Structures are given as C-alpha cells and as structure tokens.
Structure 1
C-alpha cells in the first residue's frame, strides 16, 4: 500500500503539467491533427477515445469499468521506437521486464517481479489474435518470440498484467501479451523500405486491406529482409520474412474470419561474449577486450560455423551455425463471433505447423590462451589455428593472440525441431442479464490445446578465439609430445553425459472456465474460475536419464580411419533405452475483483488471483519423473502457482491517462538454471524455490496539441523466500531483478514532421542469485524523426542508443574471477536506420 501511495503522489505534478499544456495554441493543435489521424489510420489503429480492451477478460469493455491492469500500444506508437526486435517494443510497456540482448527471438520476459530464473517467458503468454503461439513460452532453446514478427500487419499490442489472465488463458498467471492483426477495417495500405545506415540490413514491408463487398473485407501483408545485422559476424545472418492474410465475412449478427500465416526467417542468436571487468563486485567497471567491441561484435563467425555431429539415429551428419534461429511456421485459423438469442458466442481455432531449429555458439569458459592450452593438452601444450585464413599455422605467441590473448571453451548449440506443432481451440458464450437495474455478465468456455515438443538437442565442445569483425576461429591443441588433443577445433563431440537429448513429447491441455461480473451504478464486482487438466505423454532419449545408459562412445567423425583423442568423446543417444513420460495433472485457478467508478474520469479497483503454470519440459531429465513408469515422483512437480494481489487507480480525461497499481505476488517454481562455477565451468542447477515480490506500477500519457508524452515505470522489491537446494540464498534478490525500470517517450507532431525520443532505463541488479557481482544500471536513448514532404509519403530516421552507452543484460559469473574476464551479454551500441514509406 505504501508503494501505491508514494507513486500516486506524482499525480498532482502530472496534473500541473497537463494544465500548463492546455496553453498550447489551438492553431497548432488543428495543424497537427490531420497528420496524426493519417499516421494512425496507416497503422490500422482507431482514432477515437479509449478503445475497448478484450485480451484476457470475459468480454471487451471500457478499461475504467474493469478491475484489471491493462495497456494497449498501437502500431503508430511503437514504430517510433525503431525497434529491431519484438523485445525492444515490449520493453516500453509498464510492468514488463524484457531481456532482449540475444537478438530477435529467444528473449526473456517477465511481469512485475515474477522470476526469470530460466529463459523465455515462463509466466507470460505471448499470443497472436487471441491464441498462444506456443502453449509454453520457455521451452529449451525455443522461446515463443522466435516464431513471431512485428510488421505492417500489426494493428496494436494488448497486454494484461496479473488479474484475470490467470483464468482466461492457460499457463499465463503473470499476464498475456497479445499481438492483434489488422483486418481490413480501413481501406488502403503501405509499402516501405528500410535500410541500415551503419549496419547490414535491407528490408521491404508491404500491406493492403479493404472491402471486397459490403459484407466481405480482407487484409494481406508481410516483409522480407536480408543482411549481416547490427553485429559484425562476417556473413548474411538475417534472411527471410513472412506473409499473413485474413478474410472477414460479416453478417447481421456477427462475423467469421479465416486467416493464415507463413513465416520462414533466419536470425542470429547473440549469446554470451567475453567482457573485461575491473573494480569490485559492488562497483564494477565493464570494458571491451582488445580488438573486440562488446557493443558491436559477436563470437559468431564463418570460421566457427561448421558443425560435425551425430543425428538422432547416431549417424554422422553436418550442420551450419549460420542457419541461426530458423523459424518456419505455417498456420491457419478461424475467428468467429455471433449473437444468438441474447448470447454472444465466440470461437477461436488455429493449427500451426512449427519447424526449423536453433544453432549458435555459446562460450562456457573464458581465460588467457596459455591457461586454456594447459586445460586442453596439459603442460607444454601448443596451439594452432584449426579454421580461418591461417588454418594449420602455429600460434607462436598465445598471450598476444588477436591482441587480447583470450580463448574460450565454447559449445556449438544445435537444436533441431522435429515438431512444435500445436492445435488450439477456445470457445466461449457470454450473456448480459438485466437484474435489479444492474448488468450481470456470465461467461462459460472451454479451452483445448495439443502442443508437440519433439526436438533433437546436441551440445558440442570447441576451443575458439576471441576476435572482432566476425573473425573468430576454432583452435587446435597438441600435447607436449605432439599428440593432437583436439580435432578440427573440437575437444569433444559432446558435453560429457549432458545435453545430448532427443524429445518426442505431447502436452494435451483442457480447461473449462467461467466468470460472473455484476455491474450496477459505479460498482462492478466479479470473479472467475479455471480448471486446467493436462495429459503429458512421450519418450525421451539421453544418457542423463541414468540407469546405466551410455552417453559417450568412440566414432570416426572425420572418416580418416583413425580414432583421435577427441573422437573418443562422442555423444550418442542410448536408442535401446528410452525414458517414458506418462502422467496427468490438474489445478484450479481463480480471480476475483471489485471496481469502483468514482467519477466518469476516475476508477479504483482491487483484485486477488491465483494462477498456475504447467512445468512442461523443465522437469524432464530431472529426478521429478520416474522414467521407467513415466509417472511423477511428486505430483506437485507438475505445475507452479502464482498468487497475486492488486490495488489500482485509473484516471482518464481528454488527452490524459494516468494508471497506478500496487501489487504483491508469491511464486513457487521448479526450473533449471545455467550458471558458472568457481572454476569457470558451466553448471546446470535444478531449482525448487519460492519467491515474493511487491511494488508499484505506473503508466501515464498526455497529449496536448502537437505535444505528447507517454511514460511507464515499475518499482519492485523482490526476494527469494525458500530454496530446497541452496537455502543460503533465502532473503536474496533474484538475479537480474532491478528495483526500478522505466520508459519515457516525448514527441512533437506537426503537420509535416514528428520528432521525439524514447528513453528506457533500469537501476542496478545482481548478476546471479548469490548477490555478489552487480550489473550497473543504464539509460538508453533512442531518437526518431518522421518527415512527410507530401501526401502519402513519409521518411523516417531512427537512431537507437544515440549516445552509444554500454548496457549489460546479464553475466554468467556470480563474482569477478581472477582472470578479470566474465561472460556477459550486452545490448547493442548505436544503430541507425532510414525508412521510406508510401501509403495508398
């Protein structure tokens, strides 16, 4: 409550600013209005008042009559951010924590202090047009946003944080982020080309929609792009695009819409890189190694891209890391709504064929080259180039290699998607009853989904150099006696008995749900229930399952007739010893709230919710399952729960929006987490843990004449409340959780131009749960200019990270090591792009 009151104290200051803004001339406002309307219509948005919000609630309604925390971001708003990824867009929505340094896909998302102990979006569901893209947002190496793109098809993004997200969607107790497509409501379209001014990208976008007849309309759009991307990798890392289309038939009592999507796109995964660090854990200074810029470079390179492995049948195969995050999605769907005898019947269905894969290189240890030479060949070991322009040449001065003298032990991560296919259906019926002068809204529905999780996962261990401009190479070592320790840069064709896995799983989810809401006068009171029951069936292969399974063997990987040292360490699948998974689960979610409309412009609300999240793949290859019977050892392992309380205030008047919500959340979690041990080696932890978070969330916007400002901020006080494996962590702050995150976007919109900037920032956080090494806070400024020299033509210039600030997303190491080098991920340095759009 004290956080809510503290933030609410800002309101008078904002109101003072709003009042002064009224002094703007009426002429300036009138001059700006046509341009503003044109921009909104081009983006497919609506240019009137407060839109009805429909995501994660029983029935679309004015947000001031709903006891929920929601936001709607129109395409005309987020295009000004110059976002290179979906994560950069979502980072501007209040309450959402997005870690997107990895690039376009596989970013990490959370809401309101809910933990990010693993990867992906465990507690947050990402949707397109009201249905999940994947049922689970944190499947290993395969985050939901890898299979989504932001382009001209997008009308707006709706988000609900907490509240009824627990009961109107499965596996989303933290919230729902819904990308909503244009449907041809507005006649017309656009073609635009984007060019990276200081980085390699060329992109073409187009869309068009309108009426075919009085009762039939359509929309179609997509993009294609190609280029090296914003980091220097030495090859074309971005290549592909998508096309989406929909057709809507309207009737006197409703509509039917069919739609389709084809996505085939490759993007790089920017994993950890070596970062030099000096100072203390409490006050560190991070800098780039010599000849390697941590804001523009990557360990990706043409010379580390060749992957030699065994496939799922233990046959020799070859891949190329330059395929990167390859997303292939073919989906078709149906969206229908009808009014029948006072009932509103809504039906949503989608089938998605999801394939592709994820390939990249990830360092797990970094050290001076002489030190890693000893670790990969013993005292007196010598080094030579295994790949690249100097392949075969000896490295005579390891301490000065590439000017920084560093080597990494790295993993070539190779994840092949056999099937992430999913079928989803959500049908509901709602009716509004007139009872004693009030409106009683009743809703009942059934959600059904089938999600495949069939992948083949390989980790291969290599020795690699640290060089900028996409010049990193693989390195060979020989013992003092001249015996090869590595082969073609591989020290092992695996990672011991770990992470050589094959999954063939299916998750069936059924969830009946219901809600009631009674609205009379200024008061609305409601509640909702959801009962999830799931069936998990499948087969696993991997030495990690135990039971005497063999995980390493000798294999002639280069077919030269000789088994080298590295070839005695080849990961294989124990195909004759499968692990079985066959269990059911069920849990109840509920949410209840009250909303009081104090005045036409002001409402307050309170809500309490409990939601669940199925554990999915995060308990596979852990002791949670008996792989002989397929049953759970402990039924509680099947899902995690989130309990949340909210107290909020909403204020809206012409040109002004002010929302503030105090929140408290308790979370129980089972997950896996990758950290670095004291010796620099990667360690995988199985987490059984409890968390608590409380804080306050603020959203504000003001528009007066040509001037507008939008802002969002979240203060969070989070801590670990229990840990079955490491009780010493109890009381610590979860890793990467800053006390304060914020975004502010002021702009001036005139008849022929729009100018503004977007600031995103955060205070410091801890690299790991041990609360030793601090990641400094940062403030990134992104500027934009839009010029409209003539009707239907717009030129946009976007500069991200204008001041080229260094900002770290995370660090693998919990404390500064003796070498003074950690493995971290950084956000991009300054990037600039230009876009020319023609609307018609």
Structure 2
C-alpha cells in the first residue's frame, strides 16, 4: 500500500496540473548535447572539442542521466562503451565495475572515479570502501566523462584502465534552480535540489544535494536506504577573467543496503563443466529455495543483529541494518591563473576525512539440515576433557528456530527447515583521511609553425587508512522473512545436553579478521605536450608520468603465522554447562603479533596520440599508452603474504601492474548523424596474485586429527599459493546517434562493443578445498585440493558482446517524449579457472519510460527498469561436484539481476 499510494499521488499531481496547460512542443526533452562538438575537460589540460581528442573519450550529459534514470554510479557507468559494470546488483553502492576485459575480483580497481578532476580518495578499491561510496550523482552533476587509455594514465593516478570524471555544476550570472521529487515502488522517496546564481559581478554560487529513504529493491523488512549529501561551491572570477578561484564543500551522510548472493539449486542432469564442455546454466533450471531472485534476499530484521568479538574479547555488536554507511567531509580549492605571457597556473587541493561502515551479510552455498546436524554431532564426539564429558548423554545434534527456544527443554521447539542458509555476517569499519594536491604549469608557444601547449605537473597525495573487520558464520532458514537457527546437542527426550553449538544463530563469531593502520604518500611528476600542426588539422599529445608510493603500515590478521583461535568463554559461565556455548571457544579475531612494514614502489608510463581532421565532419585518431597501477590496500594489506607450504617462508612478488594499450578510430559528425568507432588492443600484466588461504591438508590440527578429514579439526596450518596473470584483449567499440529528417522527433542512439579477452597464468594453484563422500553414506568424509589455472581463459564475469540501444520519440503536437533502452549482455563465465567451468546465461534487459512537460517549468517522468524481468546472474559460485544435496542436485549462491521496478518523478525548474 505504501508504494501504490506514492505512485498515485505523483501521477495524480501531474495529471491535475496538466489540465490547465496548453500543449507545447517537447522536441528537445531528450536533447543531445553530448555530440562530437562538445567541449571536454577530462584527459586534457585545456578545454578541447571531443571531435579533436587524440584518445578514447565518452560522455554522458545531464539530459542523458535524466533518461537513463540510474539508481547509482555503477548503473550509470554501464552506458559507457567498454565498461562492463555488474549493473547495480549490489545496491546503490559497492558494486563492481570492469573495463575492457581487465581481470579483477570486483570493485573499481582499474577505474578511479574523480570529481572535477581529483579523486575524493586516492585508492579506488579500498577494502570496505569502494570508490562509489563517494560518488552519488544528483542534480549538481552536469556531465560524466570517461577516458580510456591515452593521457588518462599520465594526468591521473591509478588510471590503468580508465578514469571517470564527474563534473559539478557551478553558478552563472543568472539565478537558476530545480527541485525533484522521486518515488519508487520499493518504498523509495528521494528529494533532489539545486540553486545557483550570482552573488555579485565577480562571485557565483551553486548549492544542492539530495536526501532519500527507501526500504530497498530487495526489501529486508526495515528502511535500508536513508541519507544523502549536500555540496556547494563559490567561484570568484576576476574582472579580466584571468583569475578564477573555486571553493567547494561536500558532505556525505548516507546509508544503503548491500545485496549479496542468494542460495539456489540446479537439477543434476549432467556432470559439472570442463573447458571443452562447459556447464551452461539456464534460468529456467534454477530453483530459488525460498527467496525470489528479482526482489528477495535472505536478510531480514531478525537476521540483521549479531554479537561478534573484538580482539580483546569484548563484544562487538553488528547491526546489518546500518548497511554501507559513509560519513565524509570533503573540501576543495581550485585556482586557475592566466598570465600575459601565455603561461597558465592551475592548482587544486582537496581534503577528505571521515569513515565508512560496511555492515553486510554474504552467503556461502546452502546446506541440508540433516547434513549439518550430522557433521556437528561428529564434531562434538571428537571432544575430550570437560567439554567431551558434557556431551556423554547426547544422541544427536538438532537445529531449532532461535525464536522458539525458551530453555533447555527443546521438545516443543520448532525444528528448522530442511535446507538452511549459511550466512557470513561481516563487520567492517574504515577511518580514512586524504589530502591531494595537483599543480600544473602550462605554456602556449609556437615553434617552427607548431603550436604547443606544454604542461608540467606535480601531484601528491597523503592518505591514511585504519580498518577493523570481522567475518563470522551463522545459520538461518532461506526465506524473505528469514529466522535464526540454533544447534543443540540433545538426549533421547530432546533435552539440551552440554553447551549449545551456536548462540544467536552464530557458530563462529569470528572466522577471520583484519586490523590495519596505514599511512601512504604518493608523489608524481608528469609532462604533457599538446601540439597542433597543419593549420590545426593535426593534433598530437605526447607525455609521461613518473610516480612513487611509500607505505608505512601495521597489520594484524587472524590467519597470519602464529595466530591461534581464542577462547572467550565468560568467567561467570561454567564450562560444559548448558549455559555455555561452543561459539565462543574458537574465535579467530586478528590478535596476532602486529606486522610493521615500510614499503616503496615506483613506475613510469608514457603516451603518444594523434588526431587528424580528414574533412570538416570526419576525424581519425590513434593512441598508444604504456601505463601502470601502483599497489593498493588489497595487495599489501588485505591480501597478506603468500606462504611457501613446505618451508613457511613469506613470499611477495612484483605488485606493480602494467598495461600497453593501442587504439585507433574514426569520428564522424553530420546533419542528423554522429558516429565514433574504434578498435583497441591491450597487453596487460597483473601483479603477483595470491590464492585462497587454505588448510594444509598434509598436516594435523587439534587432537592430532588429519586436516584432510571432515569435519576439519581446528587450528590446521595455513598455506597460500602465489601466481601471476596476464591478459591480451582485442576489441571494437562503436557509439553513435541518428535523428532522421524523414521522421522528426525520432532519435536512435547507443553503442555496440565486442571484445575477446584471454588470460595467461604462470602456474596452476590450489584454489579451494573440495569435500567428497568416499563411502556412499551421503556424508562428506574427505577433503582434497581443487587445482586450477586461468591460462587461456576469458576473465570471469566478462561478456564478449554488449549492445546498448536507446530509441526515443518526441511528439510535435504534445509535450511528450517516449524513450526506451535495450541492453544485451552475452554469456559470461562464473570463474576463470580451468575446473568446474560454468557459464552464466546471456540476457537482454529492457528499460522504458516517458517525459511529460506539464509546463515550461514542470516535468513529470515515469520510468520502468527491467520491464521484461530479465534473468541471469552477475556473480556467484560455479556448479561443482563437491556442492550437491543428498538427491544429487547442485547447490550454490549467486547474485541475480534486480527484477522489474518502477519510479516516477516531478521536477520543478525555476
């Protein structure tokens, strides 16, 4: 009812207002100012026409953003050719954005996002703080520009794959403003606004932001999204326009849901896939086990609260309803000064300080209740001493719903469902600061009939990162109103025997933890010469960047050598009693010896590009870029070291990544036509990667039990293999628009991308552990390594084809524009190893909507995303022999597309 009422109010307001307004022309309601004659500000040192760029540049305009109606930065970036974002399936933030086939686990590793040319935070993929927690497009965002290759790696830090720049609105000599009310059928209410104008002859201002509340597209039973941002700027321009100073402030106080994988099963009608015979998942063969793939999730109000542990044994309360929770204050000052002798100084300084909370729940593959109960019963039979004696009368372990247990008499408690969700509650808290400065000195001069703009730049960033995290293990049923499940040892009368196996649904309140406190400083020197020849028909860019990174850090990691599980049984609890619980006996918080390190890295990259105007309407360009990415937190903090399994020696290889990009293309702009087409080739070498942290199956754990046995004993030694990947990719990107003169009001625009990325890997690794049933009793009893390699494989979750077609039609006699979007993604591999090869299905998603001008100053919009309820997964597990139910069905988890959603908005311009 909540959702329907808001839609009724919005639509009624629009219709009532329109009854008193004469029909008017709306031919430019979806106007395109993103044409090739558009001035760009990204990848250049002075504003340049897009048509004359020597590199790949794509733009999204304010009008584009209106029609695309994205629910976050990742959805928006999906409209840039060469970008393969996993379309907002994680929610409004903390999504994955992939570019041109580069292999990565997720996040924004190779795609730094900038605001007005500067990063808000230096590292684009910090654990628990992806770049998009800072990037929240609103009415203050007037354009988005993306540079791939070319001078991006010279002018910007970490821009190995691409750099995306969000351009902020500033004021003019005319007062303007807008207010937008938006409602959606997921309990979504959002308010956007901006005002801008003059203060006096030399000063202008712009101020705006948004505030939004919503239950969530996957409703957890509480308000999952709430908060927003405010930002503003004041610009001083001197009387002679030679000096400009801009001061900006940006405050973020937000909270958003984080959606993760959902359990599923697939009927077993064939063996798991191989490289020669992949397992192709069909949406019709996937069973959801109780949660709708389109709008459901395992998380609920009851399964949102957990008691975890700090390293000192004190309780750490996790409230998943807090979601992704950035709280940042950002201040920026920019100065541009033109001197009479053709010198220009541009200096920009930005300060960022605050914190990000990461409160979420991941999911491991589901488990049958009987198997879980059997495994836990075998576990308690292996205990000795006081704990072992306390279970002497136990005949079984049983799983009950937590909310039906009232004491030690469990005979009336409700047994849990047959299939249970294995939940991984995650607490992450980051405190971060960043101070960035970019100073450029440019000179325009002519030499031998060549016009040059020579720019020398200095870039520095000093940033800190302090993180604490805990990953836990818990159980619930699989339902959109999920309930916690607790496990107890019982006697023949269903009376509790000994300590509970779990408490509050948690069997391990800390599987893994990380503590880190780091201070980093990076400095770069760069030079870029823009040369104009042949009366301006030939443009050349040549430049280079040298950058160094110094890291001072201390880390504690619960899997570092020497760490052991902690016993946090309270002093007032009798060990072995029914008031005791096993869940606090084996707690892997980061309590190991702190590791102090000072590390330094450096690299050099360069670029050469040219653009030649063939005719007034056709240009061609070619660019080469040899660029790099220095290590990030994932590499020298979160990843930890690789360990030689035989000697225990710590090993760390080269963490600097390098890429060579070759690209050439044509741009054509004619009456009613625009077309950009390019071909690219990439040669990429990744850092040394680390395999999964695994039990050493050749060793023994507690009580001298083999680590190859099921269940695994506690305190098995850990091993971790290392390897290095490379990538070669060839691709074609075509983007264009067409407005035929034979049907005024019609516009077709969009893009087609084809790519063929292929990985290399220097050695196979132990990537996981498989449990198998060796004696046919339906209970897994042996653990073995899964050996895999990504050599000659397409990187995971990367499509070969992406087609994005956007038609629109503006009526001439009524102020109405209809628009649509058809997005096609070809099939993708779930993983890029050579075992258990699983293919996620291709899909086509259709979005539609309309814009209706109620008056010159008022516009109503209605938008439907995923009209056709497309089915597919964007990430998740592979189909494997080791992940099966007792009836043979495969089990796993995956993150499905969001289902059909609708929203409406009313915008007032003044």
Decide: shared fold, TM above 0.5: yes
Shift of 1:414: 0.4
Q: Does 1:72 align with 2:88?
A: no
SS in 1 for 2:40: coil
Shift of 1:617: 1.5
SS in 1 for 2:739: strand
1-structure distance, mates of 2:256, 2:153: 32
Alignment coverage as a number of residue pairs: 787
Shift of 1:314: 4.1
Aligned to 1:472: 482
1-structure distance, mates of 2:441, 2:352: 25
- Which deviates the most, 555-564 or 423-432? 555-564
Aligned to 2:176: 188
Q: 1:710 aligns with which of 736, 749, 752?
A: 749
Aligned to 2:779: none
Q: Deviations over 1:337-380 (max 9, x none)?
A: 12112112111111011313111111123122222332344483
2-structure distance, mates of 1:752, 1:545: 65
Shift of 1:388: 8.3
CA contact (8 A) 1:275 1:294 kept: no
Q: 1:218 to 1:33 in 2, by over 3 A?
A: farther
Q: 1:664 aligns with which of 681, 697, 705?
A: 681
Shift of 1:599: 1.2
Q: Deviations over 1:617-664 (max 9, x none)?
A: 2222556489xxxxx987853321111111111112244221111111
SS in 2 for 1:662: strand
SS in 1 for 2:555: strand
Shift of 1:179: 0.9
SS in 2 for 1:148: coil
SS in 2 for 1:229: coil
2-structure distance, mates of 1:32, 1:674: 64
Q: 1:723 to 1:407 in 2, by over 3 A?
A: farther
SS in 2 for 1:234: coil
Q: Does 1:742 align with 2:758?
A: no
2-structure distance, mates of 1:517, 1:823: 51
Alignment of 1:8-157 (within 5 A): 35=26, 50-99=37-86, 100-116=88-104, 118-157=105-144
CA contact (8 A) 2:556 2:594 kept: yes
Alignment of 1:101-500 (within 5 A): 101-116=89-104, 118-185=105-172, 187-196=175-184, 198-251=185-238, 252=240, 253-278=242-267, 281=273, 282-286=279-283, 287-311=286-310, 313-340=312-339, 341-378=341-378, 380-387=396-403, 401=417, 405-417=418-430, 419-468=431-480, 471-481=481-491, 482-483=497-498, 484-495=500-511, 499-500=512-513
CA contact (8 A) 1:674 1:685 kept: yes
Shift of 1:830: 0.5
1-structure distance, mates of 2:628, 2:35: 37
CA contact (8 A) 1:363 1:409 kept: yes
Q: Deviations over 1:753-789 (max 9, x none)?
A: 1111112220001101136111001111011111112
Shift of 1:312: 5.3
1-structure distance, mates of 2:39, 2:429: 41
Q: Does 1:541 align with 2:556?
A: yes
Q: Which has the larger radius of gyration?
A: 2
Shift of 1:132: 1.0
Aligned to 2:732: 696
2-structure distance, mates of 1:680, 1:216: 70
Q: 1:49 to 1:740 in 2, by over 3 A?
A: closer
CA contact (8 A) 2:108 2:125 kept: yes
Q: Deviations over 1:468-489 (max 9, x none)?
A: 2xx1122111235444211221
Aligned to 1:610: 626
1-structure distance, mates of 2:407, 2:844: 42
Q: 1:802 aligns with which of 863, 867, 870?
A: 867
Shift of 1:554: 2.9
Aligned to 2:389: none
Q: Deviations over 1:585-620 (max 9, x none)?
A: 110011112222111211112211111112222222
SS in 2 for 1:552: coil
Q: Tell me, which stretches of 5 or more residues in structure 2 are unaligned?
A: 1-21, 274-278, 379-394, 492-496, 644-648, 696-707, 713-717, 766-787
Shift of 1:109: 1.2
Aligned to 1:766: 829
Aligned to 1:826: 896
Q: Does 1:519 align with 2:532?
A: yes
Shift of 1:254: 2.9
CA contact (8 A) 1:624 1:633 kept: yes
CA-based RMSD of the aligned residues comes to 3.0
CA contact (8 A) 1:300 1:360 kept: no
Q: 1:760 to 1:582 in 2, by over 3 A?
A: same
Q: 1:656 to 1:33 in 2, by over 3 A?
A: farther
CA contact (8 A) 2:400 2:415 kept: no
2-structure distance, mates of 1:557, 1:448: 51
- Which deviates the most, 245-254 or 303-312? 303-312
SS in 1 for 2:43: coil
Q: 2:792 aligns with which of 701, 726, 731?
A: 731
Q: Normalized against structure 2, the TM-score is what? A: 0.82
CA contact (8 A) 2:306 2:504 kept: no
Q: Does 1:506 align with 2:522?
A: no
CA contact (8 A) 1:543 1:549 kept: yes
Q: Normalized against structure 1, the TM-score is what? A: 0.88
- Which deviates the most, 794-803 or 107-116? 107-116
Alignment of 1:616-631 (within 5 A): 616-619=632-635, 620=637, 622=639, 624=641
Q: 1:375 to 1:140 in 2, by over 3 A?
A: farther
Q: 1:558 to 1:66 in 2, by over 3 A?
A: farther
- Which deviates the most, 749-758 or 502-511? 749-758
